[in-house]
A and B are shown apart, each in its own frame.
Chain A
């Protein structure tokens, strides 16, 4: 017992961790089952009651690949050629013929289009500066710049796609960059292809909208809050017209609402929810004394966003709103408290002041004198005139930058901007500035993407696959267990325990590392059982051999484990190498297979070499006799 204490503790820890990682998967399954059993009101109530549990479980359960869950997988690729066409200054006949040639000529899959273009222009003895950059740039400079542009384009496309997918409301979307030019979008449970395609491929719409004065906004919000609380509206028109008298009283209401809210006792919170149902969901988060300077922003936790929008959409609430008022959420959370992401809500004018198409360029840099991140933005001449008029008329007000219906920033206009060059400052980080640059450019220079690969799996096919996978896994497991028991008797029991733990570890590791289980992955899992048995068979056969030579049982077991180790090690390492290669070269589902295979190999060596041995030695110490057939 003493000899093995360290090992036993380690094994126990592995088991505990695996169960810990797998628990969310189990609880998700149980919750879903319960939910399926309920109908109508009951299911809604259950959803409300267990909202948090469900979300937690969803987040941490084993992810199912699209082939099991159903859904869409789309691979987008930035069309570099199209981008080069868009970027060119003056497209003459020569340019168009070159483009046509590049488009139609067959090319190797690794050739860079920009290099191909360079060669094309060089053979015609045309300097690239004729179409790109400024006249003094050498071809190499331009090629470098164009390559930068194409990398930027992928970031832009990715941001546009992410923004739209977020708003489309898919649960657990995955958006990843693959290589330098591709984006992999995985949307579980989505099957409306046409809609999604539109979502992923259309050009981004960038607008600047004026944020409505906080004085008006606060009155509107207050009246909504009152109405929801069931209080009689003292003056329903006050929201629209009288600014002077009501203003002070109203803002102080906002104040009490918040003071009662964050961090206070539950009772106070319940009271606040009853008295201020609207502010309980969408909170200005003001500190006392700040209410005079409130900028009109409300903040809602992520899970409340939909509720707030439903409230604002109610007809009786709509009657309280000025006709030109609309609402827009910020795309990224502003802050995180108590594990909840809070998003800002802006009340903006319905009509956009100006469209993003007038932007020529945007660039994020560091202001050298203040050492803070800034974004510079340039507009074309027509846009500059408009921009001067808009900024001149709205000094001190905020202009929200809105892409595809989500706000990315709402900077204050400091002064009238003439000449079209603006500077946006006040960002907290370089990343934030980069994001604004990307968004501003998205309006100016769409990143042309095309779908190069698309797969849609209907949910029923996924269900079939899961059922077949689970059945074959159970069957394989059952047969293996029975066979080992029959062939190795007591030793077989050890091997079966090891096999069971092996399965537990593989699933646990998969859950712990947020791996994805695919249909080939299940095949890998089943195959792992065969591999796990192999290590045990090697050892047990060796023990049999050793005991034939006349060794005592304990000595034979010891020799068996020691001698079998090199074979187990070499044999499994080679199999592991194939797993690594497969993971490297495969995509999607096949990677899932490689992943389970690799985890399975490691787990099976561990369970055969360590676990079964510890159990056998413990039995021997207690004077039991272990049979190997």
Chain B
């Protein structure tokens, strides 16, 4: 706990980098949040993305998104433009068939999301993240002490920000890391909130228990002792889940990749934040309260003053 200010700095730096990346690079919403039509098409040979782009422009879908999906012969085509029913998808399919007659383009997946639904999903996702953050902190505040709830809330928020920032940073760096903020990603965020909370609660639980045993111990030492007590558990559990999310990332398929990436980051920052953020905040808050108690509450009113009786 002695080095906690260093770690505060590290956290703030990572979050700031993430925020800068979010501000400059931004992030991609998935089709379910944006609305529009999305096709995943498989070709016999890897097609030329430029040709598809010109084709889309000619068909009246400018600024479409075209990218490789997993393997080079699988292409994801997406436009935000809306049309009646599934007319957009049909038009794109017809055009692909004409442009690549010998490539036999096969539609692996087609999705159409109406604009209203997209807005609804976005709103639901936001509600879900906020309500789970609040629910977690309230639960902890209720089961432990109020300040523990605050510590939990700050650390969870920290995890979400770090992960969001890193997702934005890594997105698009390699063909294998095309991440989108879609429903799966939101599921990953909620899960990492749950896992990070899991870690935090185990540590808080031990602090609570040790407080009953070592009544006179300084809080700083008490927290350090509790952290050491559960350290091996933290390493084993987080290590196992880390390995599992890594497996999902590499072998779980294209659909689960973004999800697995967010979780891999999440489990790391979640473990870190339960120690260096959640516990540290509890410590700092208590220390501040104690130091305030030591100081006199009100300046002395009764005092001597020299009386100048004229001269």
Could you list which residues of chain A lie within 8 angstroms of chain B, going by C-beta atoms? 67, 75, 77, 109, 193-194, 197, 201, 450-458, 460-461, 464-465, 468-469, 471-472, 475-476, 479-480, 483, 487, 519-520, 523, 526-527, 529-531, 533-534, 537-538, 541, 545, 563, 566-567, 570-575, 577-579, 581-582, 584-587, 589-590, 593-594, 597
Given known A-B contacts A75-B117, A452-B117, A455-B109, A585 and B127 have beta carbons under 8 A apart: yes
Interface size on B, residues (CB 8 A): 71
CB-CB contacts below 8 Å: B246-265 with A: 247-248, 251-253, 255-256, 259-260, 263
Could you list which residues of chain B lie within 8 angstroms of chain A, going by C-beta atoms? 40, 42, 84-86, 89-90, 106-114, 116-117, 119-121, 123-125, 127-128, 131-132, 135-136, 139-140, 143, 183-184, 186-187, 190-191, 193-195, 197-199, 201-202, 205-206, 209, 229-230, 232-233, 236-237, 240-241, 243-245, 247-248, 251-253, 255-256, 259-260, 263
Please give 13 more A-B residue pairs, beta carbons under 8 A apart, in addition to A487-B236, A567-B201, A581-B128: A458-B108, A461-B108, A471-B251, A479-B244, A483-B240, A531-B241, A533-B236, A538-B237, A574-B198, A578-B135, A587-B183, A590-B183, A590-B187
- The 8 Å CB contact of B194, one of A193, A457, A574, is A574
Which residues of B lie under 8 Å from residue A572 when comparing CB positions? 198
- A575–B195 contact, CB under 8 A? yes
- B135–A465 contact, CB under 8 A? no
- B252–A523 contact, CB under 8 A? yes
In the bound complex, CA of A23 to CA of B255 (Å): 29
| Nearest CB in chain A to that of B193: its residue | A578
- A541–B244 contact, CB under 8 A? no
- A469–B111 contact, CB under 8 A? no
- A575–B198 contact, CB under 8 A? yes
- A534–B237 contact, CB under 8 A? yes
Q: B234 → chain A, closest Cβ, in Å?
A: 9
- A526–B132 contact, CB under 8 A? no
Which residues of A lie under 8 Å from residue B117 when comparing CB positions? 75, 452-453
In the bound complex, CA of A579 to CA of B135 (Å): 12
- A461–B237 contact, CB under 8 A? no
Q: A200 → chain B, closest Cβ, in Å?
A: 10
- B116–A452 contact, CB under 8 A? yes
- A472–B251 contact, CB under 8 A? yes
- B237–A533 contact, CB under 8 A? yes
| Nearest CB in chain A to that of B127: its residue | A585
In the bound complex, CA of A594 to CA of B190 (Å): 10
Per DSSP, chain A at the interface is helix
| 30 chain-A/chain-B pairs, Cβ below 8 angstroms | A193-B86, A193-B90, A451-B85, A451-B114, A452-B113, A452-B116, A458-B107, A458-B108, A458-B109, A465-B255, A468-B253, A469-B253, A479-B243, A487-B236, A527-B244, A527-B263, A534-B241, A541-B232, A541-B233, A545-B229, A570-B201, A571-B199, A572-B198, A578-B136, A581-B128, A581-B131, A582-B132, A587-B121, A589-B184, A590-B187
Which residues of A lie under 8 Å from residue B132 when comparing CB positions? 577-578, 581-582
Which residues of A lie under 8 Å from residue B85 when comparing CB positions? 197, 201, 450-451
In the bound complex, CA of A75 to CA of B195 (Å): 33
- The 8 Å CB contact of A567, one of B106, B123, B206, is B206
In the bound complex, CA of A197 to CA of B112 (Å): 13
In the bound complex, CA of A579 to CA of B191 (Å): 8
Q: A469 → chain B, closest Cβ, in Å?
A: 7
In the bound complex, CA of A589 to CA of B199 (Å): 27
Which residues of B lie under 8 Å from residue A594 when comparing CB positions? 187
- The 8 Å CB contact of A472, one of B198, B206, B229, B248, is B248
A-B pairs with beta carbons under 8 A, tally: 209
4 shortest interchain CB distances as A-B pairs: A452-B114, A468-B253, A530-B241, A578-B194
Q: A477 → chain B, closest Cβ, in Å?
A: 9
Which residues of A lie under 8 Å from residue B230 when comparing CB positions? 541
Which residues of B lie under 8 Å from residue A452 when comparing CB positions? 113-114, 116-117
Q: A548 → chain B, closest Cβ, in Å?
A: 11
Which residues of B lie under 8 Å from residue A586 when comparing CB positions? 124, 128, 183, 186-187
Q: A317 → chain B, closest Cβ, in Å?
A: 40
| Nearest CB in chain A to that of B246: its residue | A476
Which residues of A lie under 8 Å from residue B247 when comparing CB positions? 472, 475-476, 479, 526
- The 8 Å CB contact of A527, one of B84, B106, B125, B241, is B241
- A523–B256 contact, CB under 8 A? yes
| Nearest CB in chain A to that of B136: its residue | A574
In the bound complex, CA of A597 to CA of B195 (Å): 12
Which residues of B lie under 8 Å from residue A563 when comparing CB positions? 209
In the bound complex, CA of A537 to CA of B198 (Å): 13
- B205–A109 contact, CB under 8 A? no
Which residues of A lie under 8 Å from residue B90 when comparing CB positions? 193-194
